[in-house]
Structure 1
């Protein structure tokens, strides 16, 4: 089987992650997968395996889950320590017809309890360490059974003890029924559970399939994406079907990451924006850990132009580019834009991209005040295409309130330039009176003050725009340098400096702006 044949099959029949490893092995069984960590669920496997071995391990885990009592149409709620075995377990659940519910290990026990109750007595697949954190959650009332993938505990079914269970035939879920459930980032409260079907997952591969055509050789693809995220489904599917060697990263420490990049020399790196910001310092490493990179890619959140410029200049590849995709869990990739070495530093960070070729999402901006959306009067950004998620699990009314026919409201505001570029200015809930775009302010000031590791503009108790800053190493900020860099934004209040560790973040490292504003409320009121 060729990769293009497998891809065509997915477009017709949908993407079933339980069948994906087997399909990829049929394309090329020897494609290597390298990990930067051991698999808790399969400690004997090591850190280097082929796609054929990967597929066999998924089949083995599916057999163990079946032996543990999991059956088709059941929801299996995965809440475990971060690792690539999470994605393998999700594929195994899918392989026997279960509905995967991917939950970030970064969520607190109280939130996990709320989501368990919303799903309605699912099987909980966890590990002993995470199970210990749920001691105050009434699991007997909220779950059908508890299965541990590692570090077993009394009262839970051990997958390890089910090794050698008889293999079972795959069960294929209907193309328009729930297959994988992921959750939103939770920037404004309890995360929503986003329902993906085989059809919606398959459709979302189209824009990225074309992007990977830029890599003409079978060079390594490095992926640093949360294993629970819907983006992981697309990233792994595309890399394996295209026969690219995969480097799956869990670690974020720049020194550790540098060693892996130097050893494996990836041609494409996909990572969270905040991780790429953390790795910027590697551009100065004389060993050139980014030297081999042809394409940097990021979704999840807008990334600052200065970061893109730094990374691109650290590449030795001719024509290196940074491809940014704007989208969200509910809609997948909506628009995209390429940035290049000689111009990224001059780019307007609010220009998140252009609508992609035929077959991809449609995007419109709807007026909020009856006038044509502009920078001064941005409209609501809406997306339409068959890749939109089916529903919010247990919150159909909330989903329906966000959808008008084929159009989905993203919650972001912006406008189209006369050249057709979508400018995303802010989340609507984060808008501050007198501020055109908090994100634009952050782009501009971060580009001027390299000592800043983070800058977030939030609304203060008197509706003022308060810049919250963090510095590398939590060193004190030079206020004279701040005033010079922020001179173009007189609407800003005096900055508040906090340690970066105190920033409330989501599972994908986005700053929870409303939570941050609430966290600082007493301090700001007393000023």
Structure 2
């Protein structure tokens, strides 16, 4: 076997390949709180088999859906592997979702089993929502809870033999970020997720692939669709060590004990880790490869991390979606970021489509006819790793398909050199401009800005919302930053915690509008969110 092929037996296959990678965790797993923070492949394989035994004892059958809602950690992936092993379809839901959104998603899923925590159930109950009523049965990970299965009753049961399924049958359900409302439940298959996404990434390539001597660090959302193919592909390449960070907070200790040579993190995590770089002995100075996906990363953040290493590092910027996987790649270096182009910052150029796998085209959002290079429009993608449905919203999935083409809902343009510039989500569009580009420029020019969000509303000036390091914004520096920009409303200064976010750290712009009492009107239609 040259590539991962079966999620249910992934870790057994890694053991058979004699993969010697050690996994180091920033805290113990929620499914194994007493088993420490260091695992080899046989130990992980045994844990997955044990969880498969739990599921079987709980009555999970082939074809059932198993919903998981818990704090962010790598055991989302391990539970998914165990569920696939018994023939079920795991559905990974972030515990950062609002209770009403969780209720809607569970209604659509109709899971045979819900794996969750008392905190999740109590939070929902405080909002008048009984989540356990939306599942056939419920297990809580950290102790007994009324009307749920006692986890202790499930321990020690032998799992059934690994189940098999067709490569085009549903394998995994994950959800989109939900920046504009209730997330969509995205259905992937073995062909799209394992053979497609994980298979492509497990091909050993110069520079960008994990090397056997690497310490690979991941600090992402493990309920996200990225986590499963990342796990399968990075372990298939057998680096020396994999470090799993479950939270941007309290990560420095484990990073110092296990300094990474490659690092993939949420954009919001990179932002929160920037102060760490100011220490001369910070633990990221040996990183050779940074990887960002999930959301936009602004130029000052990229520049800070590239400048803080003692090597010649490379930053890989990936644009993609939960429904498609990666679509474009761009390599950034210290040199490519040296020239500060305030008109169109470097990180808005997302590069070119993945060669041989992905095609993109830009169309008029009203007629869907292709537009010339340099003209903004909706970006459509054609890729073999496109999801196969939305659970409970098949019509919505159909509305985003045009034959083999997928409507990303993003506005962008193709440059004369064939790369793609991303402007905004269609629902957040600012006619003739780009909210994301304005955010890039303002973060570039105002030195103590941690994050800037620009909201576009018909009949009003674009509204900047600013988070700064010290809670203050210098009026003179702000005015100077606006010197050649379109007119903007006066900035609103908020703290990091006051900005509504998704489980992947993205700003929930519609909820932010509610915080500001700015109304829900936008220039976009929102038809393709």
- The C-alpha deviation readout for 1:261-303, integer Å capped at 9, x for no partner, is 2221211100001110111122221113111111000111121
Output the CA distance in 2 between the equivalents of 1:477 and 1:428. 30
Q: Does 1:401 align with 2:399?
A: yes
- Aligned to 1:248, which of 237, 244, 247? 244
Separation in 1 of the partners of 2:481 and 2:54? 58
Q: Residues 349-368 of structure 1 correspond to what in structure 2 (within 5 A)?
A: 349-358=347-356, 360-368=357-365
**Gapped runs of 5+ residues in structure 2?**
340-344, 522-529
**Superposed, which structure 2 residues align to 1:280-295 within 5 Å?**
280-295=274-289
Distance 1:345 1:427, change over 3 A: farther
The answer to whether 1:195 aligns with 2:187 is yes
| 1:77–1:103 Cα contact (<8 Å) kept | yes
Shift of residue 389 of structure 1? 0.3
What is residue 498 of structure 1 aligned with on the other side?
494
Q: RMSD of aligned C-alpha atoms?
A: 2.0
Corresponding residue number in structure 1 for 2:109? 119
C-alpha displacement of 1:121: 4.7
Aligned-pair CA distance for 1:6: 3.8
Superposed counterparts of 1:12-411, under 5 Å: 15-135=5-125, 136-139=128-131, 141-201=133-193, 202-210=195-203, 213-214=206-207, 215-244=210-239, 245-253=241-249, 256-318=250-312, 320-346=313-339, 348-358=346-356, 360-368=357-365, 372-373=371-372, 375=374, 377-411=375-409
Measured after TM superposition, the shift of residue 187 of structure 1 is 0.9
Give, in whole Å, the separation in 2 of the partners of 1:160 and 1:486. 61
Aligned equivalent of 1:450, options 430, 447, 450: 447
Deviation at 1:402, TM superposition (A): 0.5
1:469 aligns with 2:459: no
Cα distance in structure 2, aligned partners of 1:212 and 1:47:
30
**Alpha-carbon offset, residue 251 of structure 1:** 2.4
Which shows bigger deviation, 186-195 or 287-296? 287-296
Whole-angstrom distance in 1 between the partners of 2:305 and 2:328: 22
SS in 2 for 1:511: coil
1:207–1:356: 8 Å Cα contact kept in structure 2? no
Q: 1:508 to 1:206 in 2, by over 3 A?
A: same
Give the helix-richer structure, 1 or 2. 1
Q: CA deviation at 1:353?
A: 1.4
Structure 1 residues 240 and 217, CA gap change in structure 2 (3 angstroms): closer
Q: Find the counterpart in structure 1 of residue 474 from structure 2.
A: 478
Quick one: structure 1 residues 134 and 27, their matched pair in 2 at CA, closer, same or farther if it must change by over 3 Å? same
The alpha-carbon deviation at position 432 of structure 1 amounts to 2.1
TM-score, length-scaled by structure 2: 0.92
The offset of 1:113, in angstroms, is 0.8
Q: Distance in 1 between matches of 2:22 and 2:483?
A: 52
Describe the shift of the 1:274–1:211 C-alpha distance in structure 2 as closer, same or farther (beyond 3 A): farther
1:516 paired residue among 500, 512, 515: 512
- Aligned pairs, number: 508
Structure 2 residue aligned with 1:423: 421
Tell me by how many angstroms 1:106 deviates: 0.2
1:439 is aligned, of 423, 432, 436, to 436
Moved over 6 A (4+): none
Shift in Å at residue 213 of structure 1?
3.9
Report which stretch shifted further, 62-71 or 140-149: 140-149
**8 Å contact from structure 1 (residues 150, 160) kept in 2:** no
Secondary structure at the counterpart of residue 87 of structure 2: coil
